[in-house]
Amino acid sequence: MNHLKLRILVVFGLMFFVAYLGFAEEVVKYFPKPGDLKFTYGPHKPVMKIKPGTVIISSAEDCYDGKVKKPTDKPSEVMELWHDNPLTGPFYIQGAEMGDILAVHIRKIEPARPYAISSYGPGFGAITGTEYTAILESPLPELVWWYEVDKEKGTVRYKSLKGNTVIDIPMNPMIGCLGVAPAKFEYRWSVTPEAYGGNMDCPEVRAGNTIYLPVNVPGAYLFFGDAHLVMGDGEIIGYGVEAAVNVELKVDLIKGRKIGWPRIENDEYLMTLGMYRPLEDAFRIATKDMVLWIAEDFGLDMMDSYQLVSQVMKAEVSQLVDPNYTILVKFPKKYLPEKKPVFGGMHDKLK
């Protein structure tokens, strides 16, 4: 090979390498120890500071704080008080300011153990007496269901506690807790969902979807935890099939654009979330936010948007058990009045 050809190859190689560096993602890894986990959303000392565009590879403990280790363990006996839904984080997002939007794209949620757990705890659940729904009746017994996880088949195995019923259920992993620090520098219990996200327990917080969260304090302070491998709409017994998981998230920032409540986007739907009590107020929050979103971003008069959303939206009760309830409203993208990307095409960028 002559010197000219060699120099040409070297130049092209350097150009390719520089281009690769320009497109290469920044990746951070963080695997918390039990003492690193948090139990409130708020401006705790960050576990690390990251730039927008960073990929986070990490893990999350199950909602039992990892203390339920065998089928005979009762959460009330092995868990510390108020140690429900331990949170990984917070991650401080450099450049995030009040009035920005934090975009979190979920790439992977994978079970970290060969088992998962569900339970019933007295004073919890949608169709039993709770501290909010006081009744003069004896509570139901505390029970634990032990699920075998088959990663190859992508299933979990339900076994009845009485009798011999065995059913394999396809996994649909989700992150129950995904949130940022609340406004006004408040600290909120990890079990509570609200405008900052938190314990939304929404099945659409899953791989392939982009979640948009309001930035309430400088740095945003991102937390996640409480993964479920399976959960039915409403989460009526108070728990999904709870699991420790490994996760991969990509985080970015939308500057100078304010939202009041969490939103979600995938290839098919725009989604809004309302989290409050009573249930109809959660529904109103989610529907109002969708009407305003379509009007503001797609050039419709507010009343025209109200009419359109009313005719094509779908609504789901995500959970009816937490201190605030969660309603999910979905708008099919095929009915958008303008075919243009949302938030500058952030979802497609993060995919």
Residue 147 C-alpha from the chain's centroid = 22
Q: How far apart are CA 196 and CA 179, in angstroms?
A: 6
Q: How far apart are CA 105 and CA 114, in angstroms?
A: 26
pLDDT band for position 22 (cuts 50, 70, 90): very low
Q: Is the pLDDT of residue 279 over 60?
A: yes
Residue 303 C-alpha from the chain's centroid = 31
144 lies in some domain: yes
pLDDT at 8: 56
Per-residue pLDDT tens over the stretch 197-224:
999 999 999 999 999 999 999 999 999 9
Q: Is the pLDDT of residue 17 over 50?
A: no
pLDDT at 132: 83
264 lies in some domain: no
302 lies in some domain: no
Looking at the structure of the chain, the number of domains it has is 1
Report which of residues 11 and 331 the model is more confident about. Answer: 331
- What phi, psi does 342 have (nearest 5°)? -85, 140
305 lies in some domain: no
CATH number for the domain spanning 158: value is 2.60.120.580
317 lies in some domain: no
Q: How far apart are CA 253 and CA 234, in angstroms?
A: 31
pLDDT at 344: 95
Is residue 330 within 8 A of residue 345, CB to CB? The reply is no
167 lies in some domain: yes
pLDDT at 20: 45
Q: Is the pLDDT of residue 327 over 50?
A: yes
Q: How far apart are CA 140 and CA 272, in angstroms?
A: 34
pLDDT at 19: 44
| Domain span holding position 90 | 23-259
pLDDT band for position 173 (cuts 50, 70, 90): very high
Mean pLDDT, the chain, rounded, equals 94
Per-residue pLDDT tens over the stretch 71-127:
999 999 999 999 999 999 999 999 999 999 999 999 999 999 999 999 999 999 999
Q: Is the pLDDT of residue 18 over 70?
A: no
Q: How far apart are CA 179 and CA 223, in angstroms?
A: 5
266 lies in some domain: no
312 lies in some domain: no
Per-residue pLDDT tens over the stretch 216-260:
999 999 999 999 999 999 999 999 999 999 999 999 999 999 999
Q: pTM of the prediction? A: 0.93
Count H helices and E strands in the chain, helices first.
5, 22
Q: Is the pLDDT of residue 33 over 90?
A: yes
Q: How far apart are CA 194 and CA 214, in angstroms?
A: 11
